Amino acid sequence: MNGTDMEEIPFQKVKTKRKKCCHCCCSPPAAAGAGAGLGGPPPLLLLDAIACEDEFDCKELESLFQSYNLKLEQTSTLKALAVLIVLTASLALVELLSGPSLTISKGSHPVHCIIFLSLFIVTNVKYLQVTQLQQIVKLTLLFSFTFSFLCCPFSLGAYGLEPPSAPEQGMWQLMLVTFVSYSLLPVRTLLAIVFGLVVAVSHLIVTATSVTAKRQRLWRTLMANAILFVSVNLYGVFVRILTERAQRKAFLQARNCIEDRLKLEDENEKQERLLMSLLPRNVAMEMKEDFLKPPERIFHKIYIQRHDNVSILFADIVGFTSLASQCTAQELVKLLNELFGKFDELATENHCRRIKILGDCYYCVSGLTQPKTDHAHCCVEMGLDMIDTIT
């Protein structure tokens, strides 16, 4: 048994950290404290702080997490597309049953339903690459914006295309799409925030410029819409951060569990090799079975078997005392380990089994555990090979 087989592999602790932002890295602590005294961080710093995502210290572990998370992201994208398909199909059906009048919704909802359905079919592929999924997610985000924008209250009543629009028109559709982008679409947090802000600002601008009825009370409706948009964006960011951290925590726990199991299997294998190097296999297996199902007096059981027609070889290294005085203890142990390791290989080739090592003495026997008629000849060949190895 070589010493290298028993070498321990160090385990590197893994931690999760927040990804540093460029603004935060450039600001010294004194400047940060001064900014806090002036009424809090600037809006850009606050946006960066919210958009920063968790990542692992180890780049290899982060790459492993992204590969592990691909299937979850694919499933999440399918759920988002399913929600959008149901949404657009329901709106298209309602618009179709509402009457024969021509509106923007009657043309946009069926088209978006077909687009989302096509993306759903493409996403539902067994072997989907990371880059392909990213492109699908970006297309989903793009068409979600066009769907949201066309749900805004455009004033086309003057042209006779549709009745006058209300300020609250399209609010629940836009809020639903915004929340889906946060909770289901696997995009970066900053991109989801930008999408939510663009959708909200687009609706507010279209409402302020297109809706003409009751303009004196329009600002109240705009304030209510703005509060709703802020609420859904804050809630979406909150859900996204918690979901991201929960996924990373679950991945890390699964990874640690697998690593502990592999380490346990490695330790069991080392103990197995150590036990097999000390005892014959049949005796070692009998001892293991007894320890797994221990009787009341297990340590009083003696594992002794009688064997006839065997030959025992006893070998002693000549000049070992003088050799030991010429080298250090570490060098001596290394030399004996390499030498006895070679002897073990020779014993296997010559149908012998090592039974004991005592200092520089090497004991082996032939005829165990399977009887051999030429056991004496095997021991002689073993001795000659040992002499050739030393010389």
Q: Please, are residues 284 and 276 in contact by the beta-carbon 8 Å criterion?
A: yes
Q: Please, are residues 190 and 21 in contact by the beta-carbon 8 Å criterion?
A: no
Q: Would you call 316 a catalytic residue per the annotation?
A: yes
Distances 297 to 291, 305, 368 between C-alpha atoms, Å: 11, 19, 28
Q: Which of 114, 312, 317, 355 is catalytic?
A: 317
Q: Which two tokens stand for residue 49?
A: 């702080």
Q: Which of 85, 344, 360, 385 is catalytic?
A: 360
Residue 156 CA to residue 164 CA, distance in Å, equals 7
Q: Would you call 317 a catalytic residue per the annotation?
A: yes
In single-letter form, the type of residue at position 309 comes to: N
What is the 3-class SS of 213-267, one letter each residue?
CCHHHHHHHHHHHHHHHHHHHHHHHHHHHHHHHHHHHHHHHHHHHHHHHHHHHHH
Q: Which of 316, 374, 387, 390 is catalytic?
A: 316
Measured CA angle at 310 (ends 304, 311), to 5 deg: 120
Q: Are strands 361-366 and 311-316 parallel, antiparallel or unpaired?
A: antiparallel
Q: Would you call 9 a catalytic residue per the annotation?
A: no
Which active-site residues does the annotation give? 316-317, 360
